[in-house]
Chain A
Amino acid sequence: MTQFETTVLSKVGLLPQGSLADAVAGRRNIFGMSQSAEEAVLRPKDYGAFAHDLRAAFAARAARQAGQGALADHYAADAGDKVPLADPDNSEADLEHILSFVDKVANRTRDIVAEDVEELQAAGVSDADIVRLCELVAFLAYQCRVIAGIRLMQGTTP
């Protein structure tokens, strides 16, 4: 895999030459590891309570909320019949507590309090699954910001 085949750089539409391309090439290890992180949070072997299609829907939802349409489409393509949840306006009765947590961690991080975690625990979500959810949402926050930043450098718009 070259660095241009990573999700981040394909969504940026990085021009192959110039000082930005040189800078990216100088950090190719970081782009490669970022892609490995995407594998780990989207398509882990041990997925706990959140199967790959559901994770893809959550990722698409977070990308949509972050204004990253191309990235949202990338994830929505793997969401299967969970794809309605990729729309931030949609919810599902069984998953309402999960979705409200995911949305808050993604978008109102500073307002998270202990009660938010306690509510998930009271609803029967295991501690391991709470960590898995946080890793997924947190990775998306990183990925969206790297794409937005590099795109801004390159002078293109989302």
Chain B
Amino acid sequence: MSHVIHKFTRNVPDWQPRVTPVKLEEATPEQRAALQVTPSNTKVSDYVLTLAHDVESLAVRSPLFNAIMYDPGGLSRAERELGALGASMVNRCIYCAAVHADRHAKLEKGTTVTDELFAKGENADLNDRDRAIFEFARKSAEAPAAAGPKEMAALRNAGLSDAEILDLILSSALFGWANRLMHVLGDPVRKAPA
């Protein structure tokens, strides 16, 4: 029995599906085509094989995901990851939070921000810009979305341009989507020994 993880961590766990993933050897040509445009082409994960059950969605979502998180210009990569992390913490998607906290730490070459967020959540001691970004993502992820003029003013006061704010809206909203797949369709479990 795998050990399901319930606490936030930067150690990326394994993901154990609650439904049976598509078997790669049984995939239709359409599923095979969609599986090639995933963010990582090296190995087809159980997560992507699970999403291959709805191949039309998978085929459009993977390039959209990459564009929102990686296209040049606008909000920095680390700050997009912070938007993703804010949403993932609200939705308690332990897996998504781990992946994007880890990416944030690598991009920033430091764990101060994510340590602080995992320890103190909304009371984390952050600089004005990170605080404004995290708060906007956190409030936007509530259901219904609760970011308002106060959170928008904080972003502008922290110096974000309209292009940067738009990228934050997109990256945090994208995790409203990703969390509802990853957290619903599977469990984060302790990594199996190599």
The interface residues of chain B lying within 8 Å CB-to-CB of A134 are 180-181, 184-185
Considering only CB atoms, which chain A residue lies closest to B167 in the complex? Answer: A27
A27 to B169 CA separation, bound complex (whole angstroms): 12
Flag if A142 contacts B173 (CB, 8 Å): yes
Any A CB within 8 A of the CB of B64 = yes
Any B CB within 8 A of the CB of A26 = yes
The interface residues of chain A lying within 8 Å CB-to-CB of B143 are 65-66, 106-109, 141
A23 to B18 CA separation, bound complex (whole angstroms): 39
User: Given A30-B64, A34-B64, A152-B149: A135 and B57 within 8 A (CB)?
Assistant: yes
User: Given A26-B163, A33-B67, A130-B185: A144 and B145 within 8 A (CB)?
Assistant: yes
Flag if B54 contacts A131 (CB, 8 Å): yes
**Chain A window 70-82, contacts with chain B (Cβ cutoff 8 Å), 1 for yes, 0 for no:** 0000000000000
The interface residues of chain B lying within 8 Å CB-to-CB of A36 are 60, 64
- Which residue among B54, B165, B181 has the maximum number of chain A CB atoms within 10 Å of its CB? B54
Binding site secondary structure of chain B: helix
Known: A30-B67, A134-B181. 8 other contacts (CB 8 A): A37-B57, A39-B60, A109-B143, A127-B19, A131-B54, A138-B177, A148-B140, A149-B173
Flag if B67 contacts A132 (CB, 8 Å): no
Contact of B145 among A22, A66, A128, A130 (CB under 8 A): A66
The interface residues of chain B lying within 8 Å CB-to-CB of A149 are 140, 145, 147, 169, 172-173
User: Given A66-B144, A114-B187: A135 and B67 within 8 A (CB)?
Assistant: no
The interface residues of chain B lying within 8 Å CB-to-CB of A51 are none
Chain A interface size range: 35 or more
**Chain B window 137-157, contacts with chain A (Cβ cutoff 8 Å), 1 for yes, 0 for no:** 000110111011100100000
Closest-CB distance, B192 to chain A (whole angstroms): 19
The interface residues of chain B lying within 8 Å CB-to-CB of A65 are 143-144
User: Given A22-B162, A40-B60, A117-B18: A29 and B67 within 8 A (CB)?
Assistant: yes
> Which chain A residues in 118-138 approach chain B with CB under 8 Å?
118, 121, 127-128, 130-132, 134-135, 137-138
The interface residues of chain A lying within 8 Å CB-to-CB of B51 are 131, 135
Closest-CB distance, B133 to chain A (whole angstroms): 13
> Which chain B residues in 170-194 approach chain A with CB under 8 Å?
170, 172-174, 176-181, 183-185, 187
> Which chain A residues in 63-99 approach chain B with CB under 8 Å?
65-67
A145 to B136 CA separation, bound complex (whole angstroms): 11
Closest-CB distance, B91 to chain A (whole angstroms): 4
Contact of B61 among A37, A152, A153 (CB under 8 A): A37
A-B residue pairs in contact (CB < 8 Å), sample of 15: A22-B163, A23-B163, A29-B71, A30-B67, A41-B56, A105-B180, A106-B180, A109-B183, A112-B184, A116-B184, A121-B19, A132-B53, A138-B176, A149-B147, A149-B169
Considering only CB atoms, which chain B residue lies closest to A115 in the complex? Answer: B18
Flag if B178 contacts A138 (CB, 8 Å): yes
> Which chain B residues in 3-40 approach chain A with CB under 8 Å?
18-20
- Which residue among A19, A121, A127, A131 has the maximum number of chain B CB atoms within 10 Å of its CB? A131
